[in-house]
Structure 1
Amino acid sequence: MSTASSTASTASPTTGAGSTANGGTAGGTGTTPAAAPATVNLTRFDGVASRELPLRLGGSVNLASPGNAGLMVEVWVAQNVDSRAKLDAARANPTKLSYTWAQLGERVPVVGGAFAFDQKLSITKTGLTIYPMKVRVVSTTGGRVTELGATYTFLVWAPAQPLSSTSASATTLAPTAVTTVLPISSKPRLRSDGLLTDNDLAGEIATGGRLDRLLTAVDQASDQPFSIALALDPTLLKALTVMENASGYQYASPSGVRRSDKSDEAAKVLAALRRFAGTPGNVVFALPWGDADITALLHADQAHDARLAVTNGRMVVAQILGDTVENDIKAAYPVDGLADKQTLAFLSDQAIGMSTVILDDQLLPAVRATPTPTALTVQQSTNPVRALAADSRLAALVTAPRNDQAGPSVDQSLADVRAELAMITAEQPSKSRLAVLALPRDWDPPVDFAKRVLGLVAAPAAADAGYQPFVEPVRLPTGPVDPAAGSDGASGAGTGGTTTGDTAAATATTTPAGSARGGLIYPEWAAAVEIPTGYVDAVEHLRDEAATLTPVLCDQVVRVANVNTVRKLDTCDLYAAVVEPMKNTLMTALSVWWRSDRDGADRRAGAVQLSQEVDGRTNSIRNSIQITASEKVTLTSREGTVPLTVQNMLEDGEPNAYPMTVILSLSSNDQTRLSSPAQVPLTIEPGAKAQVEVKLSSDSAGTFPVYVQVLTPDGEKLTSQPARILVRSTAYGSIATAITYAAVGLFAAAVVLRLVRRARRRGRGDASGQTTPGGGEPPSAMTGVTSAGPEATPSADRATTPVRRIQPNAAGAQRTEAERAYAGGVPANPSEP
């Protein structure tokens, strides 16, 4: 309602001021056109009044054109509203209400364009009442009352309440208990190389900057406990420590890397946070590292990284501000209070141990519109967990005015917030309930607005305030949840029970809503703004790529018994200096700041910028190892060596130049033709070269390619493209050698057999006194055989086989058929048949 203003010309039903003062309304017929429209701006408005406390407001009037005199200001009220729904309707359409002036005193003049109103009201209501209010400027020139312009807000009438009949110290009005959660956060901008992506954070922490305004509002009560709980972004704290470095810091810009001196503002912010965290009674808890989108990680089956984000966030905040942040407070505030049952189960798991989770009240809807139920529910998840339903309408009112937008004044906006809180109390004035104001991570309030809002919800009313307090600030309940706290069966809403560690008696902060709120739901619009699973998978792939560098940077090759081996180091400075920052930066690329509903493409571009920086750095390290080898290598025997040159291309002192331990692996498409050592480990210093001769052996002759791949000590590929060497082998293989040996053996056996047979024939010829065939002498007579003659009888003589001579060969020698058959039938010369 406070955002609406009017410059329309509306007159009272009568022309005289007296008739208007006697109860006339601002609407109706008989209007008179305004001489000159005007705007009314409230610059001071307390927003609350009672019988003891007068209405105080002041402001200015701006005329569209000069020339009007006799300007007066009147305060009018409409019929009081009795529910938050009617309050919303009055806020949305203030001009449709009927306003009356009779009870709010006299007009006040406009002097020098300003006015001040300080009058007690004649309202007779005895209970807490909320009125829509109209402040209008009128012209009384010529005896006519003509409205020139108006602005709209709300008035809380809070008279002191009578004492309760049961207690002399209690009243019939039970104030609403209000707890507030304020994130101290900013978009991730810390790169893995220690640079910031930009220098915008310097503007946020400078005097008057967004974070400066928030911390100024918080620091107003730094010497005593403050009911506001701070949700701290560990990535922001880490960036501030970089900026407060005595030697200055560096950040990226379109023109290149730039340097800035030490930031005194960063040191001031950290000092204020340490002071707040160190004050007994104050509540401080850590957001996940990088404010990672835990729900998106869980939906992408990355529970391990979600757990790392939570634990690392606690650890970093504890290191910077103190151990109590990590050990005492187990609270979680998902982005905008959006989390499903899977996320709640993860947070309440014993490994995470959250006892309190702040959720949007639209995920824990009220069963009835009126009255507003308490924000406290107990959800039976993995373990019982306290789920607080943050009031979305209250947060919308607080965040509507922005520092960079024109609109209602700080006082008018604050009046809206005060009226909303008063209405929660007025809906059920005899029963205290808990209301949670959870502010967004990018809250950018106008100057002094944060201080005024936090003063309203965090500071109790003074004893002499002059009105009945309707708000009671309380600390965020974070104590252990009573395991006996039940739930409404399948609904998942807490049915009762109290928490322990906060207070002994059941109060608004310890009594759950029971059946007044439904179970946890996760609407489609909430799921639609998550970081997409595909993008989560892409970033997780880059995290795996960065993790492969751990053994490359953290192992070393040592020589044991003349054998190169890889020894794992117990500690590794390069992991903390190189690998861990890359993995952490990639986690910030999954921050809730990059969700699709948070300033759209500009925010998503920031996520891509962070992931690309790590991707480029990872590739620079991986590709710094290069292999040089001859394109062709010839093996003149079964075994040989292949000379290789391995070089770390980055010189010492250059970015990403580190000693690297790698393993060379040789392979061939045909494993049957090549054998070589499986792994050759070595460590290469920046800018150094190593000459390596790798032994090879080949089982067959031929030409085939051999590939040299650079691996990590864990066996992962370090480079995507292996070096290719063409190996030519002239050695016989084992099969060819066996065949050759077999052939030679058969040939030798044939020769020996022939010589043996020839020797036997010669032996028979010598025994008969005849020469062997071809020996030059006639064969001797066989024993027992006579020569064939005319006198021989057929029965007494053995028939002999005629010996037919073969045609002489070219040398004139002739062979018998037996000799030729013995020789395998091979002609002695071409003329032999």
Structure 2
Amino acid sequence: MTPTSDDLLPSTSRRRPGRTRLVALAALLAGSLSVVAPTAAGAVAGPTSALGSGASVAQADGAAPAAEEAVAVTDPVTVELVEIDKPVARGTELVTITARVTNNQDVPLEGARAELRLNFRTVTDPETLAEWISAPLDTSFSGTRGGDQQPVPTLAPGESATMVFQYNFGKATMQGWGPRQLAVTVSDGTGRLGRLRSFVVYDSQDGSAPGQPVDLSIALPVTGPALDPADATAQVVELARQAAEGGRLDRLLQVAETGTVALAVDPATVAVAATATGSDMGPLHAWADEITAAGDGTSVFALPAYDPDLGALAHSGIGVEATSAFLAAPLPQGWSAPASWQTNLAWPADGVRPDLATVSTAFSAGRNLVVVGAGALAPVESTTTPSGLAPVAVDGGQVATALVSDEVLTDALVAGTNLTTAQDSGGDAAAEGEDAAAAPAGAGMPTAQALQLILAELAAVAAQPGDPQHLFIGLPRDWKPDVAAYENALTTLVGSGLVRIAPLAELLAGPVPATPREPLADEAPQSGELSPDVVGSLERVRTQVAAFSSVAGDNAPVVTADVNPRLVAPLAVTYRDADPARGAAVTAAVDHAHATLAQVAVVPRVGINFLTSAGSLPVRIRNDLPVDAVVTVALRPDDLRLQVQGRPQEVIPAHSEKDVLVPVRALGAGIVDVTVDVLTPSEQRIGVSSFEVRVNAEWEAIGTWIGGGLIALLFVAGIWRTVRRGRSPYRATSADVEAATGEVKAAATAAATPGSTTEGSAAPAGPAHARQQ
């Protein structure tokens, strides 16, 4: 039944769907933020029973004033819900309601009174629920009184007190099923000072309750701090701190192990944890193993490594191919995610409405399932709450699937289970006691208050015609859960009978209803994104390194593995809140990429003398890569007197230098400036250098003439020397020759005469000049 205007708020003009709920929840959170870490109240006295019950009060001892950094308070008094012992009341049950009253004034609170009221009519319209929790303090509220006005004890500035009320539904005239507005108002003679606005779900057990609970799926992103691959030690230390017992990553692991959430994991975070080296890395390794094992019983999606900001990539104009390259950065130490982890989920930055450009970019990069939050894709009809799935038309007539996180349910669950700053910094001891369980959310609202809001929202959904919808909650990356509060919250929700925690796989396996929704903006860049100019500069050096890596052939991944993660890291969503660090990371990444490009280069030369008409010029190439490099060397002379005859290709061994001989031909003499291009096997230029060549090709002919002249001169000199030295005294004269000839003839004649013998023959005469001696 729809409440009358006397029972509820004055009617308001129609708002954009979802906007009222957003503003309302923000107002409720702001009210809870007005008190920072109120001190625990003392023991609560026992309540009295009856519809017109009194309220017992216990004042907090030693209450401290609100912290200096508290948000400005709008109401003089804050009233918060600590506990409702029966979140869903049935039949004639007696319900106990505990509230905390805090004095936000600079003067003591004296003479004030508190009063509990419930509206006897049900409220099932989502916008009416939202209007109630955001109603101004002076808004009138009609409802059955839960008891006479009870005095609030005198409270010093910043002090708190708990007040306990009881409401006996057996003495009430309420009928039907659904959420009722609940109010605890504190006032004095000057008027209202503060009011708690909450709900209690009541079932009169007349058969009007829904027959089926609402299905609810929850997804938890598991991402670490902003990783800096350039400083491996620092990132491991920070991961170890967060993965230690009580740290944020440890708490996320505990939530994952409850089996109530699907996981969206940054594989780089797990890879760094799993491959960290050192003697004290056992707990970090154990965390990596356990978060991996936690996925065995639920759906696990691998986010792109280092969790890059999809919005920044979509609005940079670098194109789908480059975006896909950024989303496929290699993992540290060659670690690989389990094959069971799905890779089709995209999760844009939290707290902003993704636009159509972001969804289209994710779809084009192979991630057709996109988490959409922050109230985006709100239903056109504000009185209905559609399913957690929605179709989104993207480029090319294709359709992506949006996982629409219910804004109110998500924010309420986070606010009711988030740790206080003190707890997160190691002050868990401060969380002990009654108020720690009731209000773990120093940056949100008490758990009980959040739960009643969630139950009211779920009851409104369950009351809608038709089968109950399957809703979705996408928790934010910066959620720091109080695990006990989270488990208590889910136990309470499931125990209410209003909700069933369903696997995300069930939601994804169901149909995607075409419920009319508000469209996404075509393109709406956010202020926290990395600027397109910076993304473009990262893409340019990434492209250069990709081309450069081809020198390594099949070992190209060895070259890019150390560069690409550094270029992706500054795009991480976590860096949105770390501007100085992000700028330093960008500079360091670009500088490292340029240093990598310089690892294959020409060794400078002072100059070369080329003295022949044809030959080779030696070009020394240095390779500082850990793998062999295949390069082509091309020369570009600035003068036709030196002509290049080829472009040789050589393998330069790792960590070495080698001369590459380039054939050239000289056509004249002079000084020629030569530019050296070092090319990859695919003809991509990876380095440029230059040197000077002094060409003197005619010296070859001159040298030949000089050599020939020297040989001729030596020949003439030898002849002249022989002539100059004259005849030797031992050489035979012509007379000697004649005498020798005559004697020989005489001997021959005598030998031919008969009767002659050689015995009486005279000995042959020697040369005349010898005989004369």
**Shorter-chain TM-score: what band?**
0.5 to 0.7
Partner of 2:588: 613
Residues 295-334 of structure 1: pairs in structure 2 closer than 5 A: 296-297=312-313, 300-308=317-325, 322-326=338-342, 330-334=344-348
Q: Quick check: 2:118–2:144 contact (8 Å CA) kept in 1? A: no
Counterpart CA distance in 2 for 1:478 and 1:157 is 27
1:583-625, CA deviations, whole angstroms, 9 ceiling, x for partnerless residues? 233233333444xxx43xx2x4444444433333333333345
Shift in alpha-carbon separation, 1:511–1:120, aligned structure 2, 3 A: farther
Deviation of 1:399 (Å): 4.3
| Counterpart selection for 1:231 from 245, 249, 264 | 264
Q: For residue 698 of structure 1, what is the amino acid of its counterpart?
A: A
Partner of 2:426: none
SS in 2 for 1:180: strand
Q: Quick check: 1:377–1:513 contact (8 Å CA) kept in 2? A: yes
* % identical aligned pairs: 21
Counterpart CA distance in 2 for 1:318 and 1:97 is 62
Shift in alpha-carbon separation, 1:296–1:62, aligned structure 2, 3 A: closer
Q: Does 1:512 align with 2:513?
A: yes
Q: Quick check: 2:642–2:666 contact (8 Å CA) kept in 1? A: yes
Q: Does 1:585 align with 2:566?
A: yes
Counterpart CA distance in 1 for 2:333 and 2:389 is 27
Partner of 2:543: 544
Shift in alpha-carbon separation, 1:75–1:205, aligned structure 2, 3 A: farther
SS in 1 for 2:291: helix
1:357-391, CA deviations, whole angstroms, 9 ceiling, x for partnerless residues? 43348543422221333343345665555434332
| Counterpart selection for 1:120 from 149, 164, 168 | 168
Counterpart CA distance in 2 for 1:318 and 1:616 is 23
Q: For residue 262 of structure 1, what is the amino acid of its counterpart?
A: M
| Counterpart selection for 1:669 from 633, 638, 660 | 638
Deviation of 1:540 (Å): 1.2
Q: Quick check: 1:297–1:303 contact (8 Å CA) kept in 2? A: no
Q: Quick check: 2:640–2:667 contact (8 Å CA) kept in 1? A: no
Shift in alpha-carbon separation, 1:453–1:536, aligned structure 2, 3 A: farther
Q: For residue 583 of structure 1, what is the amino acid of its counterpart?
A: N
Deviation of 1:698 (Å): 0.9
SS in 1 for 2:132: helix
Partner of 2:249: 211
Counterpart CA distance in 1 for 2:108 and 2:669 is 110
Shift in alpha-carbon separation, 1:435–1:154, aligned structure 2, 3 A: same
Deviation of 1:103 (Å): 3.7
Shift in alpha-carbon separation, 1:181–1:538, aligned structure 2, 3 A: same
Q: Does 1:623 align with 2:598?
A: yes
Counterpart CA distance in 2 for 1:321 and 1:622 is 30
Q: Quick check: 2:137–2:195 contact (8 Å CA) kept in 1? A: no
Deviation of 1:156 (Å): 2.0
| Counterpart selection for 1:708 from 676, 682, 697 | 676
Q: Quick check: 2:114–2:152 contact (8 Å CA) kept in 1? A: yes
| Counterpart selection for 1:432 from 468, 486, 491 | 468
Counterpart CA distance in 1 for 2:363 and 2:107 is 65
Partner of 1:87: 129
Residues 473-552 of structure 1: pairs in structure 2 closer than 5 A: 473-477=501-505, 501-502=509-510, 510=511, 512-514=513-515, 517-518=516-517, 520-522=519-521, 524-525=523-524, 531-552=530-551
1:401-439, CA deviations, whole angstroms, 9 ceiling, x for partnerless residues? 76335564333233333333333334x266422322222
Counterpart CA distance in 2 for 1:42 and 1:380 is 43
Deviation of 1:191 (Å): 1.0
Q: Quick check: 1:79–1:99 contact (8 Å CA) kept in 2? A: no
Deviation of 1:669 (Å): 1.5
1:271-292, CA deviations, whole angstroms, 9 ceiling, x for partnerless residues? 432332112xx22222223323
Q: Quick check: 2:179–2:201 contact (8 Å CA) kept in 1? A: yes
Partner of 1:267: 285
Shift in alpha-carbon separation, 1:733–1:95, aligned structure 2, 3 A: farther
Partner of 2:387: 374
Deviation of 1:153 (Å): 3.4
Partner of 2:183: 134
Residues 812-823 of structure 1: pairs in structure 2 closer than 5 A: none
Counterpart CA distance in 1 for 2:300 and 2:216 is 17
Counterpart CA distance in 1 for 2:242 and 2:199 is 34
Deviation of 1:532 (Å): 4.0
Q: Does 1:679 align with 2:712?
A: no
Alignment coverage as a number of residue pairs: 601
Q: Does 1:159 align with 2:203?
A: yes
User: Scaled by the length of structure 2, what TM-score is found?
Assistant: 0.65
Counterpart CA distance in 2 for 1:73 and 1:479 is 45
SS in 2 for 1:335: coil
Q: Quick check: 1:647–1:684 contact (8 Å CA) kept in 2? A: no
Counterpart CA distance in 2 for 1:344 and 1:39 is 41
Deviation of 1:88 (Å): 2.4
Shift in alpha-carbon separation, 1:550–1:348, aligned structure 2, 3 A: closer
Partner of 1:58: 98
Counterpart CA distance in 2 for 1:631 and 1:360 is 63
Q: CA RMSD in A?
A: 4.5
Shift in alpha-carbon separation, 1:713–1:110, aligned structure 2, 3 A: same
| Counterpart selection for 2:452 from 415, 439, 446 | 415
Q: Does 1:638 align with 2:638?
A: no
| Counterpart selection for 2:87 from 43, 48, 63 | 48
More moved, 91-100 vs 230-239: 91-100
SS in 2 for 1:670: coil
Q: Quick check: 1:175–1:429 contact (8 Å CA) kept in 2? A: no
Partner of 1:747: none
Deviation of 1:23 (Å): 13
SS in 2 for 1:50: strand
More moved, 698-707 vs 411-420: 411-420
Deviation of 1:233 (Å): 1.6
Counterpart CA distance in 1 for 2:491 and 2:347 is 22
Partner of 2:753: none
Q: For residue 546 of structure 1, what is the amino acid of its counterpart?
A: V
Q: Quick check: 1:185–1:441 contact (8 Å CA) kept in 2? A: yes
Q: Quick check: 1:181–1:230 contact (8 Å CA) kept in 2? A: yes
Counterpart CA distance in 1 for 2:132 and 2:263 is 33
Partner of 2:6: none
| Counterpart selection for 2:294 from 276, 290, 299 | 276
SS in 2 for 1:718: strand
Q: Quick check: 1:191–1:610 contact (8 Å CA) kept in 2? A: no
Shift in alpha-carbon separation, 1:730–1:412, aligned structure 2, 3 A: same
Counterpart CA distance in 1 for 2:507 and 2:98 is 45
Deviation of 1:537 (Å): 2.1
SS in 1 for 2:608: strand
Q: Quick check: 1:78–1:98 contact (8 Å CA) kept in 2? A: no
Deviation of 1:719 (Å): 3.2
Deviation of 1:154 (Å): 0.6
1:508-559, CA deviations, whole angstroms, 9 ceiling, x for partnerless residues? xx47244xx137432554667655433332111121122234233x25xxxx
More moved, 376-385 vs 672-681: 376-385
SS in 2 for 1:212: helix
| Counterpart selection for 1:96 from 119, 132, 138 | 138
Deviation of 1:159 (Å): 1.0
Counterpart CA distance in 1 for 2:492 and 2:522 is 32
Shift in alpha-carbon separation, 1:635–1:373, aligned structure 2, 3 A: closer
Unpaired runs of 5+ in structure 1?
A: 8-20, 25-36, 140-144, 165-170, 249-260, 462-466, 481-500, 503-509, 556-570, 651-655, 735-833
Partner of 1:767: none
Counterpart CA distance in 2 for 1:106 and 1:148 is 16
SS in 1 for 2:218: strand
| Counterpart selection for 1:4 from 31, 34, 54 | 31
Q: Quick check: 1:374–1:435 contact (8 Å CA) kept in 2? A: yes
Counterpart CA distance in 1 for 2:29 and 2:312 is 38
Counterpart CA distance in 2 for 1:67 and 1:639 is 103
Shift in alpha-carbon separation, 1:176–1:191, aligned structure 2, 3 A: same
Shift in alpha-carbon separation, 1:536–1:441, aligned structure 2, 3 A: same
Q: Does 1:470 align with 2:498?
A: yes
Deviation of 1:211 (Å): 2.9
Q: For residue 221 of structure 2, what is the amino acid of its counterpart?
A: P
Q: Quick check: 2:617–2:662 contact (8 Å CA) kept in 1? A: yes
Q: Quick check: 2:236–2:273 contact (8 Å CA) kept in 1? A: no
1:3-48, CA deviations, whole angstroms, 9 ceiling, x for partnerless residues? 53799xxxxxxxxxxxxx9899xxxxxxxxxxxx876554434572
Q: For residue 302 of structure 1, what is the amino acid of its counterpart?
A: G
Unpaired runs of 5+ in structure 2?
A: 1-27, 36-50, 55-75, 154-159, 422-441, 702-773
